[in-house]
Amino acid sequence: MSSDRVPVRSVRRADTSDAAAVERFAPGLWPATASSDCAVFVIDGDGDPVGAMRLRYANDRLEIERIAATSRDVARQLTAFAERTARALKIGELHLQPDAVSSDGAAALGFGNGIKRISNRWWLRALDHLEGVGVPLLRDGAAPLDQTLYYRGIWAAIALLVGFGIIPLTVFSPGDVTLLHVVVPAIVCITGTLFALWQIGLIVKAAQRGSRGLIALTIIAAAAVSVLAIGGLFYDRALPSLAELWEIYGGDEELGDLEVATSNDGTTLLVQGAYGVGSADLVRRALDSNPRVRRVVLAGPGGRIGPAFEINRMIRERKLATHVETGCASACTIAFLGGTDRSISPTGRLGFHQGSFPGLGANDMFESNRDMRRFLIASGVTPAFAKRAIDTPADEIWTPTPQELLAGKVVNRINR
């Protein structure tokens, strides 16, 4: 038996019209007498078969009585078919008669002492079903192009949905970002992307196998466009999100410039800068060390909303007042809304916009922005003001006038 790979077709059950061809290919393999518990299966070549196998099922025992093949690859395909048959019959062992194949061939096919254990796990039965319909999961099968396109197109779409869908789920999951929050979505996304690309490649192979001319060229062109689209999606969506998660896990060096100071009389806490991963702990330590603080003066461009919400909660639980003297935008306004008495100076400005995260689009952020609108209303802001704030695109800043802030109940007063 040669170890060379040859193109093979699907396994089929032979009938009496195949008897002569099977005898020419493997003398003695065709059973001398017809029997209901014995069947011959073949793999067709260009003329005569390239593989043939005689199976016998009796007394809850499945046995390969004889196997002949032009290559080891063909023999493996035949024995794989026998394994699938054993699983379908819920038989735990597949037997190989001593004279069915050479001893070297038996070992190469995985039969130790003429027996091969058969696992009946559900996922193996599912793979068997795919083999049966001619669309194996990871290699080209014998199914026609339309059937191949249907199955593999659905698998590719599901793989992309899972691979890219896990990223927003991770971004919006509660708790601190750990290494698993970076590694798991990266592995799932990369695996899903590669699986989808592999399925597209198998669709092209099926088109080359079963079609010619314009249909094959159309499939190949569509596959090329799909590959480019998936590559662009990975570059524009997955990479920025994963990079941002890595930045958060690494400590947010670019957003770690928050400064916290206390006034001379110890009643005012000054919080200025961008909110990073450790910002909430910094503010908490300052408040714990200065129990006389009654007012928090905020200034900054924003940053991570997670620390901003924590600072909001600290301010609210301690029933502190908040004040903006210069400018407080984006996540800074979340902290500001924790104040029991909220005020700004005549030159103070608050800036609002909807939430964003690198790589995530408006649909991904929909639930997050809806939750933000609820938070604004729960903080005492009017629904109309909350809607205007959330409707402002993430790359813009809405800076309401002092009168709009008063009307929207964002501030209680303007210090003059």
- pLDDT score for 6: 40
**Given a cut of 80, is residue 253 above it in pLDDT?**
no
pLDDT: which is higher, 288 or 173: 288
Whether residue 389 lies inside any domain: the answer is yes
Question: What integer is the mean pLDDT of 131-147?
Answer: 91
- pLDDT score for 393: 93
**Given a cut of 70, is residue 9 above it in pLDDT?**
no
- pLDDT score for 7: 43
Q: Is there a single domain that holds both residue 407 and residue 262?
A: yes
Q: Is there a single domain that holds both residue 301 and residue 398?
A: yes
Q: Is there a single domain that holds both residue 123 and residue 150?
A: no
Question: What integer is the mean pLDDT of 5-17?
Answer: 74
- Residue 396 binned pLDDT confidence (cut-offs 50, 70, 90): very high
Question: Rounded distance, CA 375 to CA 354, Å?
Answer: 12
* Contact by Cβ (8 Å): 70, 77: no
Question: What integer is the mean pLDDT of 337-349?
Answer: 96
Q: Is there a single domain that holds both residue 300 and residue 408?
A: yes
**Given a cut of 50, is residue 111 above it in pLDDT?**
yes
Of 249, 264, 286, the residue at which a domain comes to its end is: 249
Average pLDDT, the chain: 91
Q: Is there a single domain that holds both residue 384 and residue 290?
A: yes
Question: Rounded distance, CA 143 to CA 129, Å?
Answer: 13
Q: Is there a single domain that holds both residue 79 and residue 191?
A: no
- Residue 26 binned pLDDT confidence (cut-offs 50, 70, 90): very high
Whether residue 197 lies inside any domain: the answer is yes
- pLDDT score for 416: 64
Pairing outcome for strands 268-272 and 259-262: antiparallel
Of 98, 132, 166, the residue at which a domain comes to its end is: 132
Question: What integer is the mean pLDDT of 259-287?
Answer: 93
Q: pLDDT exceeding 70 applies to what percent of the chain?
A: 96
Extract the tokens encoding 193.
Answer: 């992307």
Question: Rounded distance, CA 52 to CA 12, Å?
Answer: 10
Question: What integer is the mean pLDDT of 102-123?
Answer: 88
Instruction: Tell me the H-state helices in 337-394.
Output: 362-378, 383-391
Question: Rounded distance, CA 52 to CA 75, Å?
Answer: 8
Q: Which helix (H) or strand (E) holds 328?
A: strand 321-329
Whether residue 137 lies inside any domain: the answer is no
Provide the whole-model pTM.
Answer: 0.76
- pLDDT score for 14: 95
Task: Tell me the per-residue pLDDT of 180-217, one tens digit each, with 9 for 90 and over.
Answer: 999 999 999 999 999 999 999 999 999 998 777 888 89
CB atoms within 10 A of CB 209: 15
Q: Is there a single domain that holds both residue 271 and residue 352?
A: yes
Instruction: Tell me the H-state helices in 275-412.
Output: 279-289, 305-317, 331-336, 362-378, 383-391, 402-407
> What CATH number is attached to the domain comprising 20?
3.40.630.30
Count the domains in the chain.
3
Q: Is there a single domain that holds both residue 189 and residue 211?
A: yes
Q: Which of 250-259, 273-282, 393-402 has maximum average pLDDT?
A: 393-402
Task: Tell me the per-residue pLDDT of 364-377, one tens digit each, with 9 for 90 and over.
Answer: 888 889 999 999 99
Residue 67's domain comprises: 11-132
Q: Is there a single domain that holds both residue 197 and residue 260?
A: no
- Residue 256 binned pLDDT confidence (cut-offs 50, 70, 90): low
**Given a cut of 60, is residue 255 above it in pLDDT?**
no
Instruction: Tell me the H-state helices in 177-213.
Output: 179-210
Whether residue 87 lies inside any domain: the answer is yes
Question: What integer is the mean pLDDT of 266-277?
Answer: 93
Of 249, 264, 279, the residue at which a domain comes to its end is: 249
Question: What integer is the mean pLDDT of 241-270?
Answer: 86
Q: Is there a single domain that holds both residue 170 and residue 304?
A: no
Q: Over the range 332-364, which residues count as b (16 or more CB within 10 Å of their CB) and which as e?
A: bbbbbbbbeebbbeeebbbbbbbebbebbeeeb
Whether residue 385 lies inside any domain: the answer is yes
Question: Rounded distance, CA 354 to CA 76, Å?
Answer: 59
Question: What integer is the mean pLDDT of 228-248?
Answer: 94
Question: What integer is the mean pLDDT of 260-286?
Answer: 93
